[in-house]
Chain A
Amino acid sequence: MGKQDIKSNILTTTVESAINWGRKNSLWPMPFGTACCGIEFMAVLASRTDMSRFGAEAIRFSPRQSDLLIVAGRISIKMMPVLIRIYEQMPEPKWVISMGACASSGGVFDTYSVIQGIDQFIPVDVYVPGCPPRPEGVVGSLLKIQDLVDKEKLFDYTFSGSK
């Protein structure tokens, strides 16, 4: 192996940016579709705005294998305990997209049975406005999540046995 080969085959970086680069380009979304936003979310995965271009096409209805929760649709008082359980089942690190007016604020459903914004109870990273949002908007929110993932500091994480 000559000097020239080393130059073109080795690059130096930090562990942090390598991990963040891998993480942000292979997000595993857990969709929580409860209404029309859930239908609109399917269009995001279809050919025109293909989310797999950003490495997030592995949709798993399995919170324990996911790191991105997409709440799409209105959350009723009967569904909120389910959503909290699912959020708690997801391993750290995790991010949350609140898709559409209903998940973010209750939307037009200002009634006793609809939660007026899921951010009262679970942490939300990116909100997508719209009723329902355009697929481009959801892809935009994914890019925002990627920016957030890129800014993660490995130092912030505590590992078991260390502080």
Chain B
Amino acid sequence: MSLEKTTSHVKERFSEAVLDVTEFAGEQIVHIKSGSVFDVLKIFRDEGFNFLANLTAVDNLTLGGFERYSVVYHLLSHGSVERVTVKAYVAEDDPIIPSVENLWKTADWQEREVYDLFGITFEGHPNLVRIMNPEDYKGHPLRKDYPRKGKTERTDFPVVERGISKENKT
């Protein structure tokens, strides 16, 4: 099935959820509300977009947009060799979005990465723990309001002195 058909299909069935459909550099972007992301992506998957090429997030703090965060899904159809971008907008004060781990297994680690760096919670994820930062890390450093040099994490380590046997050494 072709991309136009799928997009109109999605627009028909989820007229409430689809915020906008735009085009950039010859590729289609479907903007949707975060609540129905699972159902929308399920249609895309069932109609040929079998491969989740990428899952990431954007902080729209200075960019403007429907909401503060957008979770971006890049889909590829191996059958018709078409690509589509789905952007789901997540509110600032309650960043929760349904997980798509059930649709594509590859979403598992990518959702953990987005959770780690943006603090967006994926509802229904089997193992939502930090993937890159240390387990006891506080904060979500890829948010635009996070200081570039961090808070205190890069100086919070014990200082190891020279061994006792060398303490007379200058």
Q: CB distance A111 to B163 under 8 Å?
A: no
Q: CB distance A111 to B148 under 8 Å?
A: yes
| Cα A113 to Cα B141 with chains together (Å) | 9
Interface size on B, residues (CB 8 A): 27
Select which of A88, A94, A112, A157 is within 8 A of B154 by beta carbon: A112
Known contacts A84-B160, A88-B160, A113 near B166 by CB under 8 Å? no
Q: CB distance A77 to B154 under 8 Å?
A: yes
Select which of A93, A115, A121, A123 is within 8 A of B165 by beta carbon: A93
Which parts of A144-163 form the interface with B (CB within 8 Å)? 153, 156-158
Give the dominant DSSP class at B's interface: loop
Q: CB distance B163 to A121 under 8 Å?
A: no
CB distance from B139 to the nearest CB of A (A): 9
Select which of A78, A115, A153 is within 8 A of B134 by beta carbon: A78
Q: CB distance B160 to A92 under 8 Å?
A: no
Residue A136 at the B interface, CB < 8 A?
no
Q: CB distance B147 to A112 under 8 Å?
A: yes
Select which of A77, A114, A122, A157 is within 8 A of B160 by beta carbon: A122
Q: Residue of B at shortest CB range from A84?
A: B160
| Cα A93 to Cα B168 with chains together (Å) | 13
Residue B146 at the A interface, CB < 8 A?
yes
Q: CB distance A157 to B146 under 8 Å?
A: no
